[in-house]
Amino acid sequence: MTDVMHSFELFQPATVADAQELLGEHDDAWVIAGGKDSLDWFKHRVMQPSVLVDISGIPDLSGIQEDGGGLYIGATTTLTEVADSDLVRSRFPALAEAAANVASPQIRNAGTIGGNVAQDTRCVYYRDGFPCYRAGGNTCYANTPTAMNREHTLFEASRCVAVTPSDTGVALTALEATFHIQGRRREREISAGEFFIGPEIDIERMTSLEPTDVLLGIRIPEKWAGSSQYFEKVADRNVWDFALVNVAMAAHMEGDRIGDVSMVCGAVQCTPRRLTDVEDLVKGEVPGEDLESLVKRVAASGAQPLNYNHFKIPLMENLAARAVRSLA
């Protein structure tokens, strides 16, 4: 039966320590804050945890604070708060734009930045309860001659061909953010490259969060504050839909030439993809049509499209070129 939720116990801890204790006591506890992704899982009865731990009421997990020249954003800060924040818009406009492009206004008002980066993949087979690799089975139903795979990966397929669904995750990776996590025994802070993981590391998870972990917040360093930044998302619809391809870029200009630069694409592999070849190509160059043409040649180098997602290659190439064009 779809759209009928299962029974569960709901706990609403007042502190991170209380949340940690609950997660340690229950083997199948599920952390929830805005719940915009979780409720879909429950409605379709694909996931049926017996315990929900709602961390939205923990005051220490919400808010945007200055952190030197950078920012610290609590995990339960809503996407609307991130998109509308003067601090974020002035220092890291790529993140503000990414947050403003997530889903719809109603979802952004409740959905959190922690939930957006930690959400599971949107593969229709996995979401519909097929026993695929990611669900503990031994088949990838999206990687067959007749499968629906227009939204799936171009790079680094390892049994599973699902892609990262997070818009803010792409921007945060470009901004070289770090993720502050409370584990059962200790706190740790890890880079975006360590936080987002591919199927070759663990095919049943999209992030390095363990079952007893709580994402406390995200720290964005000063390095890219006030730099030239760009974010663009291409989706079937401008509201609600997940990206077919998106791009985030931060760059420091040295006169009319490009200095240090960071560029990342999303929805082309399981994790946000850093376009290091493009970065190496454009450093020290003057933005212009010739450079854009070269960027298009290398942006999607090595792509291995599936039956129905060849269109993602020119999308990726053009988005990378448009990001560079914004520096002209």
Segment 126-184, tens digit of pLDDT: 999 999 999 999 999 999 999 999 999 999 999 999 999 999 999 999 999 999 999 98
pLDDT at 2 over 70: no
Query: Is residue 317 scored above 60 in pLDDT?
Result: yes
Is the pLDDT at 5 greater than 90? The verdict is: no
pLDDT-wise least confident of 29-33, 42-46, 97-101, 196-200: 42-46
* 325 class by beta-carbon count within 10 Å (0-12 exposed, 13-18 middle, 19+ buried): middle
Say if residue 1's pLDDT is above 70. no
Torsion of CA 68, 71, 72, 76, to 10 degrees: 160
- At residue 246, the pLDDT reads 98
- For the segment 194-223, what is each residue's pLDDT rounded down to a tens digit? 999 999 999 999 999 999 999 999 999 999
Position 40 scores a pLDDT of 87
pLDDT of residue 44: 83
Go through the domains of the chain in sequence order and give each one's CATH number. Answer: 1-59 (3.30.43.10), 60-119+162-223 (3.30.465.10), 225-325 (3.30.390.50)
Q: What is the predicted pLDDT for the residue at 267?
A: 98
Instruction: Read off the pTM.
Output: 0.97
* Residue 75: predicted pLDDT: 98
Give the pLDDT mean for 56-74.
Answer: 97
Q: Which residues contact 318 (CB under 8 A, 6 or more apart)?
A: 296
CB 82 within 8 A of CB 98: no
pLDDT of residue 43: 86
Cα 37 from chain centroid? 13
pLDDT over 70 percentage in the chain: 99
